[in-house]
A = this chain, B = another copy of it.
């Protein structure tokens, strides 16, 4: 499979849409409409007794306080790890001395190229949170013995993958 062409069909304020053309090994071709995304990170930041999550309005899905892992989009030129460090400070006011990659996932590979880099962050130190302009973020401390209930309440795909993989790691 080879991408043989690409043209942008919509430049929005946050989202752009393109049509890519592909040729397959059997000689056939196809076009695919793709929502371009810069990629994102999400972080399982924890110590021995708790992990940190956030609640925020997610207008796209009509939720006023969606429960999620700290997360955010990659900025121009930023590596996933740099982005994760920045978002952890901005959203929950934490720095971490230890960072481990947990998983890289595709959010919805049928229509968008968004890839989310999941990290586990430990050895936490508190700093001042620096919410971006217009962000309405509430920090939520989750006791580790409430991990299973929290998974039950969570409906965000990237956060569920992070929490479920973290729960698996803890059982080992």
Q: Contacting chain B: which of A27-35, A43-51, A75-83, A93-101?
A: A27-35
CA A73 to CA B110, docked complex, whole Å = 10
| Distance (whole angstroms) from the CB of A119 to the closest CB of chain B | 16
The one of B12, B60, B106, B110 that contacts A110, using a Cβ cutoff of 8 Å: B60
Is A17 at the interface (CB under 8 A from chain B)? yes
Tally A residues with Cβ within 8 Å of B: 58
| Distance (whole angstroms) from the CB of A17 to the closest CB of chain B | 6
CA A19 to CA B115, docked complex, whole Å = 23
- Copies assembled: 2
Is A150 at the interface (CB under 8 A from chain B)? no
Q: Is the CB of A12 within 8 A of B15?
A: no
Q: Is the CB of B12 within 8 A of A59?
A: no
Q: Which of A89-132 contact B (CB under 8 A)?
A: 103-116
Chain B residues near A156: list those with CB within 8 A. Answer: 105-106, 109
Residue of B nearest to A20 (CB): B59
The one of B61, B106, B115 that contacts A109, using a Cβ cutoff of 8 Å: B61
Is A164 at the interface (CB under 8 A from chain B)? yes
Q: Is the CB of A10 within 8 A of B17?
A: yes
| Distance (whole angstroms) from the CB of A148 to the closest CB of chain B | 8
The one of B35, B134, B161, B167 that contacts A157, using a Cβ cutoff of 8 Å: B161
